[in-house]
Amino acid sequence: MLKSSPISSIKSPIDSSNKLLKGFLYSLYNTVFVFGREILDYKKEGKEILEGIVIAVVLYLVISMTLSFALKVEDPVAVVISGSMEPVYYRGDIIVIKGTDPKNIEIGDIVVYKRPYQDIPIVHRAINIVEEGGTLYFVTKGDNNPFEDSYFENGKKLPGVPDYAILGRSILKIPKLGYVTIFFKRLIGVRI
């Protein structure tokens, strides 16, 4: 029988580093091969998400063009970006706009218009109608604003929003769905 020497009971630092190396290789194997399969699943899911985005964009364009034709307005949908019309419309609400002959607009109607120096449509209530020089001017005000709107064109203040700046009337509200648009515009740095 062989007696074990006291030296054999001493653990070598190589043994502990072998355990560390085995643990590292095992982790590396799991990361590359086990999780690698999940990465392939992420690629598949990414492709499905991209397809969903493309379908959503195409669907949006088709619906937008159909609404534009049916409602007789270039941009049939707008997002409310301020609280000026609360409690009727809140920030983040989407409104559907119907093109309207300005002669058919009455005091109390909620109209949508654009200023010549601003791309964002404004949604406010017509509180008065003035006719000057064959042009109808709509005095507008947000329900939650203390003062009526001012409308300037070429540095001159007009008596109200001119009939040719009116896009139409608001006919439908979809609550809070516009927050998605507001979020993405802020994300890409568009000032609203």
Per residue in 12-45, pLDDT tens? 444 555 676 676 666 666 655 555 555 556 677 7
Per residue in 124-141, pLDDT tens? 999 999 999 999 999 999
- Which residue stretches of the chain are H helix? 13-29, 35-71, 179-187
Q: Rg (Cα) of the chain, in Å, rounded?
A: 32
Q: Is 150 left (phi over 0), alpha (psi -120 to 50) or beta?
A: beta
- Domain with 62 in it: 15-71
Q: Which residue has the higher pLDDT, 41 or 111?
A: 111
The residue assigned the tokens 């020089």 is 133
How far is 139 from 159, CA to CA, in rounded Å?
7
Any idea which residues carry the catalytic annotation?
84, 124, 149
Instruction: Express as a percent the part of the chain with pLDDT over 70.
Output: 77
Quickly state the pLDDT bin for 158 (edges 50, 70, 90).
very high
Same domain, 183 and 97: yes
Can you tell me the mean pLDDT for 49-71?
87
192 in a domain, yes or no? no
Same domain, 51 and 122: no
25 in a domain, yes or no? yes
Quickly state the pLDDT bin for 80 (edges 50, 70, 90).
very high
**Domain count of the fold of the chain:** 2
How far is 175 from 93, CA to CA, in rounded Å?
4
pTM summary value: 0.66
Structural contact between residues 112 and 138, judged by C-beta atoms closer than 8 angstroms: no
- The DSSP H or E segment spanning 113 is strand 110-113
Structural contact between residues 168 and 73, judged by C-beta atoms closer than 8 angstroms: yes
How far is 53 from 56, CA to CA, in rounded Å?
5
Can you tell me the mean pLDDT for 102-123?
92
Same domain, 94 and 63: no
